[in-house]
Every structure is written in structure tokens, then in C-alpha cells.
Structure 1
Amino acid sequence: MTMPPTVAALDHLVLTVADIDATLRFYTQVMGMRAETFRPADGSSRHALSFGAQKINLHPATAPFDPKAAHPGPGTADLCFLTGTPLADWQAHLAACGVAVEEGPVPRTGATGPILSLYIRDPDGNLIEISTRADRI
């Protein structure tokens, strides 16, 4: 029996959002991501958020782009982002931005081992986990 093909990394994911501008503000001002406008092959103008070697493409809930998830909708995501910044610094930053921490810091298990996490919500109610690897705490 041959081994199945494998994937190497996550290139991007899509968030379906109620308000593109509010989402761009939150992720740039609170999460430190970079806003981008790009033009796919169909010539339309779309928005994305970049960080590291990844990006989040934004689809408006009123008219998500095809192809799309079977049931796209705002507030359906649960995302975990790794950071090299101490969580105490994040807590101060979130407080200054008026963003409530729902839970944390709490120990969790990430893709490569133990992490310490804070939980917040974005403008659509998506659960956002900000985590440091336990070996970097």
C-alpha cells in the first residue's frame, strides 16, 4: 500500500465577516496583522490580513466569494495564534484597546506541545486564542 499525499503548511484561511472595515481595524490594531488588498484572477478587489507566512482572506457575509464553505457565516471560527510576546504584555495591550479577555492565561495543548493562552472575541464573535509556547514562557 502506498502512502497518501501529505500537506506541508497552511497558506491561508477564509473568514466570512459582517463588516470588512471593522474586521480590518480589529486585526491590524489589536492583533498587529497587516491589511492587504489583492486582485484574484477574476479581477475583483478583495481584502486579507497577513502575518508571518500566512494570511486570512476576508469574505463579506452578504456576498461570499465562490467557491466557499458549505455554510459560511460570521462568528463561526475558533482560531489560535502563536506569539513571541509575553502574555502579560498582551493583557496590557488588550486592556488599552478595550478588548475583554474571556479566559486566561490558561494552560492548553497546541499543535507542537504545551501552550499558555488568552481568549478574546473579534467583532464577529469568533473565538481568538493568543498563545505562547510553554518552552518560551
Structure 2
Amino acid sequence: MLKHVSFVTADLDATLNFYGQLGGVTEKNLTTAEGYRRGVLRLGPGRLQFFQIPDGSPRPHPHWAEHIAVHVTGLRALLAGLREAGVTVSRELELSPGGRDMAFVLDPDGRQVELLEAGEGHG
């Protein structure tokens, strides 16, 4: 069973806030013994872990194939709110192969995040 997935971020506060808007709950926000900021979010049954490491942090690949996928409720309203908050929509709302509403946005580091309506079908 997967425990967590870990990423590097340029701005831990912005990243924790962004994933909080998607339903994530911050479980840890601390500084490691090495001096890195570390944040852990619970997002459904899984965890996302982010490290803010100074100087030369690797950037995420811009292709949609590398992404985090998140089930959300009320995707259309959430997408409008994210857009108003200045979040970049990288792939507009469309139906997923399973018939659910789906869109892609960029997190504060430019990482692709797939938003998939949690309910059955589309609305």
C-alpha cells in the first residue's frame, strides 16, 4: 500500500494552501534537521509530502502525463474559484474516458494536477 508521494516545492506555504483548496488537510508543516521545510497533506486515504529546498530546486515536467490526480466534488464551481484565484487552467473542462467532468490545473510549482469529479457521470 502506498504511504505517500514526495515532491520538491519552491514555496511550501503556497503549495499547502493550493492543495488545501482541493480538500487536502495539512498534517505536518515543519523544518527538518537539514533545514528544509517539510509539509505533509492528507488527501483522501493518501498523503502528499513536499520539501522546500533552497537553490536550484528541480522543476516539474510540463507534460500532462506527469501529474497528480485528485477526486473533487463540485468541480465546475471549484474550477471557477481556482481560476478567480489566479490558478492556471492547463486543460479545460471536458469529459474523462469514464464520463466524469475532468480538468487540469497547475499547482504553484507548475505541476499538472488532474481534477476529476468524484460523483458518477457528469453534471
Is TM-score (shorter-chain normalized) higher than 0.5? Answer: yes
Q: Aligned pairs, how many?
A: 114
Asked if the contact 2:102–2:114 (Cα under 8 Å) also holds between the matched residues in 1, the reply is yes
RMSD: 2.9
Equivalent of 2:4 in 12, 21, 37: 12
Asked if the contact 1:15–1:74 (Cα under 8 Å) also holds between the matched residues in 2, the reply is no
Larger-Rg structure = 1
CA-to-aligned-CA distance 1:105-130 (integer Å, 9 cap, x gap) = 12334xxx444311110111000110
Query: Residues 105 and 36 of structure 1: is their aligned pair in 2 closer, same or farther, counting only changes over 3 Å?
Result: same
Query: Residues 136 and 35 of structure 1: is their aligned pair in 2 closer, same or farther, counting only changes over 3 Å?
Result: same
Partner of 2:96: helix, strand, or coil? Answer: strand
Where does structure 1 differ by over 4 angstroms across 4 or more consecutive aligned residues? Answer: none
Equivalent of 2:89 in 101, 113, 117: 101
TM-score under structure 1 length normalisation:
0.66
Residue identity in the other structure for 1:82: H
Identity %: 25
Deviation at 1:79, TM superposition (A): 1.1
- Segments of structure 2 that go 5 or more residues without pairing to the other structure are none
TM-score under structure 2 length normalisation:
0.72
Could you tell me which residue of structure 1 aligns to residue 104 of structure 2? Answer: 119
Equivalent of 1:61 in 31, 53, 75: 53
Could you tell me which residue of structure 1 aligns to residue 70 of structure 2? Answer: 81
